Structure 1
Amino acid sequence: MEPIKKTLAKQLQSPSFKEKYEQARQEVLRHEAVQAFIANHQATLTAQMIEDALPKFLEYTSQASECCHAGSVRACTNAVVGCVPKLVLQGTTVEVMYATCPQKYKEDEARAVAEMISSLHMPRETLSASLSTMAMDTGARLEIARFVANFINQIKETKEMPSKGLYIYGGFGVGKSFILGAVANELANIQVRSVLVYVPEFLREIKQAIDDKTLQQKMDFVKKAPVLMLDDLGAESLTSWSRDEILGAILHYRMAEG
């Protein structure tokens, strides 16, 4: 049986392989971006350096060098998903570096915003709300929008949380929860974390937490939220325990801590 090394050597020396190699080599070197790179570094690149860089040139030309805007990073076919290649000269060596593409930037930014919002039993559609899609068809909503704008501007200017909050009230289905979601997203855009809590379900969960010994953990999570939003507060009758030991304790802590 002929050794593999000897067989490979024969293949590499065969006319057909040499022809295919030269064809691929010329195709890579004729690539517009490769020619531009060589021209930009002609004072440094030698013929041998260019030959040595052929694998890197091939790596570069076999991928999309610009974001394809496929709509999702998952559709990216590049070697490094969500990144585009760039040819760089490091000393006497040509390398391929990868930079994050606009689509990945967009998705990373959206993910970072989503991670700024913690939700306890809030509907998913509420968490996607925004002020830009909120109907400004009443004086009350315009007033809320102005308050939110001032609230956020104050955070931007002072780097501190305003001392006063906002109490929103109204009939069923007028959009109070939507407004909370919109405010949370506006805060997330300036890197401020918030916690949205649907109070009736939260109180039921707190009762169960006594048995599984997670009461203090859940209370601390809500009490120490940078911005806390309580939805449907008063939607159901409160017992003296839920009023004094749960909601009262949360509000007292936040008022005492400023």
Structure 2
Amino acid sequence: MLADPDVQAFLQDNQERISREMVQSGQSKLYEFYHEKQLAKKGETTVAPGYSPQLVLNSGQIDVTYVPTQQLLEKERQRHIQRLVRSINMPKFIQNASLDNFYIDEQHQTATRMAALKAAINFTDNYDPDHFMPGLYLYGNFGVGKTYLLGAIANELAKQKGVATTMLHFPSFAVEMRNSIKKNNTSEKLEAVKKAPVLMLDDIGADAMSKWVRDDVLGIILEYRMQEELPTFFSSNFSMDELEKNHLAIDTQGDHEPLKAQRIMERVKFLSRELPMTGDNLRSKG
């Protein structure tokens, strides 16, 4: 035990403060340090998994304290990053979505995917909560990577800037909001979503909207975010023009209300910048 390099280094560094008697009375602590270190080296269970022992002087006595290992600190960091990205009815693959792994290899690369990736990197690099920066409105066919890119942006913001992002599949969220009327917690859900530091509305326009969802859910969210200048991202199979004319202007009852649709789109256009995404269907690749 006393021949252990770390024990020797501790005694050497503190030789002016450690007497022979202190070493004698502190042998159990020195052994505890040595023994725990050996267990960790062999990969066996220690008294405090994820923590490494360190020798210290405590009130004139040799003692052992335990500090988090680098592996534990990294694991905690990753958990914290994952907690910052709140997803509602989103696919599981967004948890590991990364800008580094976006589809820019020769087989999948397209000019629009590259432009979208460049815009995403520009946002994550320059995001500042004190200065408004519009999000992205990504539109294109099913499976071109729109949702993946939104997830990658959210994860990068969490990792790089410590920013909390809320991602939600809008058609599913609309159903939740309708169901919440019975439970009388509609306003609570709406408040949590509209105040998110960064919000991502996925698959907007996939289902026809009722007047209530359009005006009292989507409209309220976008109005608040425009007033507060909070970045908002969208993904859709439709361009902004198509979304306005073919979906927002016509509700589930078949009523045509172009002025209300125009009002919603004014907010979408303020909060985001439109970018097409084209390419093969990545989901069919397995």
TM-score range, shorter chain: 0.7 to 0.9
Looking at structure 2, the residues matched to 205 and 195 of structure 1 have their Cα atoms a distance apart, in angstroms, of 15
CA, structure 1 residues 66+219, in 2 after alignment: closer, same or farther (shift >3 Å)?
farther
CA RMSD after TM alignment: 2.0
- 1:227 aligned to 2:198? yes
Distance 1:98 1:186, change over 3 A: same
Q: Given that residues 66 and 84 in structure 1 are in contact (C-alpha distance below 8 angstroms), is that contact kept between their aligned partners in structure 2?
A: no
Question: Quick one: structure 1 residues 65 and 154, their matched pair in 2 at CA, closer, same or farther if it must change by over 3 Å?
Answer: farther
Corresponding residue for residue 212 of structure 1: 183
- Paired residues of 2:94 and 2:148 also in contact (CA < 8 A): yes
Are residues 1:150 and 2:134 paired?
no
Rate the CA distance shift 1:69–1:181 in 2: closer, same or farther, 3 A. farther
Matches within 5 A, 1:1-258: 28-64=1-37, 77-136=45-104, 137-155=109-127, 158-189=128-159, 190-258=161-229
Q: Is the 8 A contact 1:67 1:103 kept in 2?
A: no
Amino acid at match of 2:27: L
Give me the whole-angstrom Cα distance separating, in 2, the residues matched to 1:168 and 1:42. 65
Q: Indicate conservation of the 8 Å contact 1:65/1:85, yes or no.
A: no
- Runs of 4+ aligned structure 1 residues displaced above 4 Å come to 65-70
Distance in 1 (CA, whole Å) between partners of 2:214 and 2:224 is 14
* Percent of aligned pairs with the same amino acid: 34
2:61 corresponds to which letter in structure 1?
A: T
Amino acid paired to 2:24: E
Which amino acid in structure 2 is aligned with residue 46 of structure 1? S
Q: Quick one: distance in 2 between partners of 1:179 and 1:69?
A: 42
Q: Render the CA deviation track for 1:76-126: whole Å, top value 9, x for unaligned.
A: 722222111111224521121222101101100100100111111001112
The verdict on how the C-alpha distance between 1:170 and 1:65 changes in structure 2, with shifts beyond 3 A counting, is farther
Contact persistence 2:123–2:133 (CA under 8 A)? no
User: Which structure shows the higher strand fraction?
Assistant: 2
Gaps of 5+ in 2: 230-286
The range that moved more, 115-124 or 133-142, is 133-142
Alpha-carbon distance, 1:161 to partner? 4.8
CA distance in 2, matches of 1:241, 1:149: 36
Q: Which has the higher contact order (CA 8 A, sep 6+)?
A: 2
Measured after TM superposition, the shift of residue 200 of structure 1 is 0.9
Structure 1 unmatched runs, 5+: 1-27, 71-75
Give the C-alpha shift of residue 217 in structure 1.
Answer: 0.7
Aligned residue pairs, count: 224
Work out the CA distance in 1 between the residues paired with 2:41 and 2:199: 40
Using the alignment, how far apart are the partners of 2:130 and 2:42 within structure 1?
38
Change (3 A) 1:159 1:246: closer
Greater shift in the superposed pair: 138-147 or 126-135: 138-147
Structure ID, larger Rg: 1
Q: Which residue of 1 aligns with 2:260?
A: none
> SS of the residue aligned with 1:62?
helix
Deviation of the 1:44 alpha carbon: 2.3
Q: Partner amino acid for 1:165? A: G
AA paired with 1:108? E
